[in-house]
Amino acid sequence: MANDPTPAAEPRAPMPRFVLICLGLAGLAVTLHFFQGLSSIVAPVFLGLNLMIVAYPLQLLMSRFMHRYLAAVLTVLLVLALLLAFLGSTAWAGSELLLALPRYNKEFIDLWMNVSAWLGALGISESMLVDQLKSINAGSIVNVVRPLLNNVSSVMSLLATVVMTVFFLGMDSTQIRRRLQAIGGINPRFTEAIMSFSQGVRRYWVVTTVFGLIVALLDVWVLAILGIELIWVWGELAFLTNYIPNIGFVIGLVPPALLALLDGGPGPAIAVVAAYSLLNFTVQSIIQPKFTGQSVGVTPTVSFLSLLFWYWVFGWLGALLALPATLLLKALLVDADPKARWINVLISSQAPPRPVPARARAAKVDPEDTGGTQERPGEEREPAVGEGDEGAR
């Protein structure tokens, strides 16, 4: 009959959680394989994005006194100048080290004899070591040098990609505020997550740079007191390795300690290790995390795991960009999704909120008393489309 209502469609059974987990893991594996194949492109592009995010407040300041395109050009030139100074100082430190190493040939031979005697006491004779050294031929040397040459070419390619990325991002940055305002009218949560990511990345790089300078100057001061040579080279190394979380301290410690061992014996080497450990532990493990934790917003465990993960995905550049990349994933997958924000309780460096008592939960207002429009305590209302435009402006 025409007046008979049509039967309602039966609701679909929800997909089992096991199937959802398997599909998610499969999609994650495919995505990681895709980004690993494009690591030589994605990593330098993301580095250029970080540089422009850090310099963007300066561009906004200059745009108040000049045309926005001129401010963008000056910002790009400033970023490229800082990048050139960074690479120039690294090249200077490497050249100074190469020029100084030949002066320690005698000390290196003495150290080799001492190590040979110690190995002989362990049952490893010097003839066995000599036989291993004789096995080194021209072909094996070429096999060692070839990866170094490939790394030089890859560094030049990476630098070119970063420069081009900074240039095009600088040109697009003149319209980024209007684009975010337009997106904020459609999806305010996404805009809020992107803004939070930008602020976190900016604070992270600023805090890491400031504390890197502090650690480098303290290390230079201690090395000067101990009479170690090439103190500014080791200060440059300490500054650079400070950008690598968790393990950068060890990388910056080994070369000056080895030089102190060659120059003065075990005493100065132990003094360098002790001074570095005390200074770097105090600054990097006690003071800096209080500021870095506020800027990054993740726990030290998550920071260390992100270092391993992004190094596996992007290589050595992934170790440098580990925390910014983690912030980006957090912004897109956690902060922008209201249903996933509970993950912040597990990974955030801030103290978790106190649980709501049972009596307070039972005292929630019934929506029927106010026509279904009053919000319950602790609940978050979904903003209407277009709401938040004034805040975005």
Beta-carbon-side half-sphere exposure of residue 273 (alpha carbons within 13 Å): 12
What is the model's pTM? 0.70
* pLDDT > 80? residue 51: yes
The pLDDT assigned to 105 comes to 67
Q: CA–CA separation, 243 vs 239, rounded Å?
A: 8
Q: Can you read off the two tokens belonging to residue 10? A: 């039966």
If phi > 0 it is left, if psi is from -120 to 50 it is alpha, else beta; for residue 322 that is alpha
pLDDT in tens, 56-93: 899 889 988 888 889 889 999 999 998 888 888 888 88
Report the alpha-carbon distance of residue 142 to residue 287 in Å, rounded: 46
Decide if pLDDT at 293 tops 60: no
With pLDDT > 70 as the criterion, what percentage of the chain qualifies?
66
Per-residue pLDDT averaged across 249-275, rounded?
83
Predicted local confidence at residue 74, as pLDDT: 92
C-alpha to C-alpha distance for 162 and 44, rounded to whole angstroms: 5
Position 302 scores a pLDDT of: 79
Residues 329-359 have pLDDT tens digits of 888 887 777 777 677 666 666 555 565 555 6
The pLDDT assigned to 7 comes to 55
Delimit the domains of the chain by residue range. Answer: 38-125+146-350
Q: Report the chain's C-alpha Rg in angstroms.
A: 28
CA atoms within 13 A on the CB side of 20: 4
**Residue predicted with more confidence, 341 or 10:** 341
Going by pLDDT thresholds of 50, 70 and 90, the confidence category of residue 172 is confident
Nearest-CA neighbor of 202 among 43, 361, 57? Answer: 57
